[in-house]
Amino acid sequence: MGYIAVDFFSAELVWLAFLFFRWLVYEGKVFSVNTVLIPAFDFYWPLIFYPIGCLLIYYLSGYYLRVYRKRFTQELLTTIISSIVIALGAFFIIIIDDQVQSYHRYVVSLAVLWLLQFCISYIFRLALTLLIRRYALPPVTITIHSEAELETLRVNKGDQIIIDPLPSLSENDLYNMIRRIYPMDVDIAVVPKLYDMLTGAAKIPEIDGNPLVMITQHKMSDSELCIKRAFDIFAASAVIVLLSPLYALLWVLVYASSKGPAFYCQQRIGLHGKPFDIYKFRTMVQHAENDVPQLSADDDPRVTKVGKFMRKYRLDELPQMWNILKGDMSVVGPRPEREYFIRQITEQAPYYCLLYKIRPGMTSWGPIRVGYTDTLQKMIDRLNYDIVYMENMSLRLDIKILFYTIGVILDGKGK
């Protein structure tokens, strides 16, 4: 929150300095609407929306992710690029409508706005960064060798844990350590074996450091992750608003078709291995499981007629748009499972915990290829596809998966 507050204040200061420059150079009247300052807009609105626009650009640049581990060069480069985007945006939205028909003044205004935006915002950011690094607890790197050391581990957000496994540590034990560390919300790395180095899985995070397998490092850049999250919020909001009549209709149909509530809430395991409540339209009779988790199968007698129709077109999952807005889920990501089934999957595929790196989603490569999972083997098959998705994550791949999913839904192959 500190960086957001500083950026908002500095953006406000930038806009006021820019207005003063134009008043000083072009002799406009500051508080008049029809002047060379902001002729097409009221004076006060840009004072609100310019800082908000700056924060949006900064967020999409990925600046607010992992701020405590950013290098000075990375902070400088991000600020330069963001300032260019902000200046160009303000130019085409506000300055382009200037009543002063002078190409020279357009160019000068754009250059001055960029210079002010970069210099003022970077000075404030650098000051805050230096202040934090001097007085706040710095991120630390902790090396552990066995699961027994997790009883005594004390970490803070931003720290890094390096697992240097003992020779006697089995692969299952290693994945179990990773599973237990994930909820701590820290960076996780593993000292690689020869196979990891030969296959390119090992990376060198620092030029003078040792090679490591970065477990929690994303394939997407910070900017791509923020764009993905912004798309999630926009898409979920649009669906809830535009399909609100359909939500109401399905609520009535489910409520009238069988006894029990229209919505169904179930605990799943999500990002960082933390539990959350997932929401769905109820497709089965009430108390269908009797407190014992069971997988659904074709022609399952517990599924209602309305539920069968909703499953066919995946309409039962529409309430999960609320999970997306809350940040529990993403539009595209591996389907979350219940702890009961995760324990069974882990017995055969201990690497399931690797999925905790990303938010679960409504659709992904696994659900498209496997569909509804009515057996443990299908769950493992879907896991393997989701691992492939995770290792190749990109905005382009997300768009491709969305188009495939739309085709599946329209063909009624959701089940």
H-type alpha helices, 301-375: 305-312, 320-326, 339-348, 365-370
297 and 348, same domain (yes or no): yes
Q: How far apart are CA 387 and CA 111, in angstroms?
A: 46
Nearest to 174 by CA among 385, 353, 359: 353
DSSP 44: S
Nearest to 174 by CA among 191, 187, 159: 191
H-type alpha helices, 243-352: 244-257, 305-312, 320-326, 339-348
What is the Cα Rg of the chain in Å? 26
pLDDT of residue 41: 45
Does some domain include residue 350?
Answer: yes
In three-state secondary structure terms, 93 is helix
Reading the block at residue 115, the tokens are 């210079």
Does some domain include residue 415?
Answer: no
Q: Which of 135, 159, 194 is the last residue of a domain?
A: 135
pLDDT of residue 397: 93
283 and 377, same domain (yes or no): yes
39 and 127, same domain (yes or no): yes
For the chain, the residue count is: 415
257 and 372, same domain (yes or no): yes
Q: How far apart are CA 267 and CA 276, in angstroms?
A: 6
In three-state secondary structure terms, 141 is strand
Q: Between vectors from CA 365 to CA 363 and to CA 371, what angle results, nearest 5°?
A: 70
379 and 306, same domain (yes or no): yes
17 and 110, same domain (yes or no): yes
Contact between 11 and 125 under an 8 Å Cβ cutoff? The reply is no
18 and 126, same domain (yes or no): yes
Q: What domain count does the chain have?
A: 3
Per-residue pLDDT of the chain (415 residues; tens, 9 = 90+): 789 999 999 999 998 888 888 777 765 554 444 444 444 445 567 788 899 999 999 999 999 887 766 778 888 999 999 999 999 988 887 766 655 556 777 788 889 899 999 999 999 999 998 888 888 777 788 889 988 888 888 888 778 899 998 888 888 899 999 999 998 888 899 988 766 665 667 777 665 567 888 888 888 999 999 999 999 999 999 999 999 999 999 999 998 988 889 998 999 999 999 999 999 999 888 877 777 777 777 777 888 899 889 988 889 999 999 999 999 999 999 999 999 999 999 999 999 999 999 999 999 888 888 877 878 898 999 999 999 999 899 999 999 999 988 888 887 665 5
Q: Which of 214, 230, 249 is the last residue of a domain?
A: 214
324 and 366, same domain (yes or no): yes
Does some domain include residue 7?
Answer: yes
- The reported pTM is 0.86
Q: Which of 135, 161, 186 is the last residue of a domain?
A: 135
pLDDT of residue 366: 85
204 and 265, same domain (yes or no): no
Range of the domain at 174: 141-214
Which CA distances in Å does 107 have to 104, 110, 112, 123?
5, 5, 9, 24
Chain centroid, CA 260 distance in Å = 34
Burial 338-363 (b: 16+ CB within 10 A, else e): eeebbeebbeebbbbbbbbbbbbbbb
